[in-house]
Amino acid sequence: MKRNYIMLLLLIAPVLALAGQVKLEDAYRSALQKTEFNAILEAQIKQYEARTEKAVSALFPPVSLKAGYSLQQATFAPGYSDAAVLGLNITQPVYQGDQLTTALEESKLQQKSKELQNKALKLALYSSVASGY
């Protein structure tokens, strides 16, 4: 897939250079815009950010709140009877052997790794545009 992008960009760069005096930066920006390359990289970064957010949310205890109210007409005595219920549930595991913090660190490192991979791919793209320029 990466090879296809590079081949496409090698074809685009000389055409852009022949069309007029195009700067290298303009050719690079044009190559990013004319392919889905940049959108794919951004989507992957957002995916890894979401994984990190999920790992962070696992550190906090789940909380649930239940409430209810009922009003009924009494059949055996005159009047009404009402009842209200309120419940709060918080669950926190006592110990999980650092699984949650390890998962968070792993997620952060994977996100950082993906960002560095994307920078390397953009540099390779820039290099291929520069070589065709």
**What is the predicted pLDDT for the residue at 21?**
65
Does 105 score more than 90 pLDDT?
yes
In-domain check, residue 69: no
In-domain check, residue 23: yes
Q: Is the distance from CB of 89 to CB of 130 less than 8 angstroms?
A: no
Both tokens assigned to 87: 């419940």
In-domain check, residue 102: yes
In-domain check, residue 38: yes
In-domain check, residue 7: yes
In-domain check, residue 108: yes
In-domain check, residue 80: no
**What is the predicted pLDDT for the residue at 4?**
66
**Better pLDDT: 94 or 76:** 94
Both tokens assigned to 5: 């992008």
Q: What angle do CA 119, 122, 124 make, to 5 degrees?
A: 110
Convert the pLDDT of each residue in 27-66 to its tens digit. 888 877 777 877 888 898 899 999 999 988 888 888 888 8
**What is the predicted pLDDT for the residue at 82?**
75
- Per the structure, how many domains does the chain have? 1
Q: What is the pTM of this model?
A: 0.58
Domain of 112?
2-60+97-132
In-domain check, residue 128: yes
3-class secondary structure, 85: strand
Q: Is the distance from CB of 80 to CB of 72 less than 8 angstroms?
A: yes
3-class secondary structure, 59: coil
